[in-house]
Structure 1
């Protein structure tokens, strides 16, 4: 059973996401897609609290959506 890694960076969309489509294709019908997000302090550390809160909310929503699928 193959596993494809999907590295989310700045684009957290599930619809119309070329890397997601490639990961699903690579995993095949019996495989898995492992979604990953790395919180990089160089990108998000300087952001203010509202932006970090928004990012965390988006990641929680992404987790709910992908957990139901993968």
Structure 2
């Protein structure tokens, strides 16, 4: 069983901002570029109410350093 649970994109973005990610640039719609000093830039492309499942959260975690306790 996965250690990740589904969550809304708005909550995920808030968790990323809380662990040190900053919004570098926002575009129209759902895309924004996040930056962190220790990681390469990450494109966040989800609408606020979109449900993100465990598999996608796992992929995001590999690129951002997110952990289940951060949500």
TM-score normalized by the length of structure 2: 0.26
**Comparing both structures, which one devotes a greater share of its residues to strand?**
2
Q: Which has the higher helix share?
A: 1
Q: Which is higher, the Rg of structure 1 or of structure 2?
A: 1
The two structures have a TM-score, normalised by structure 1, of 0.26
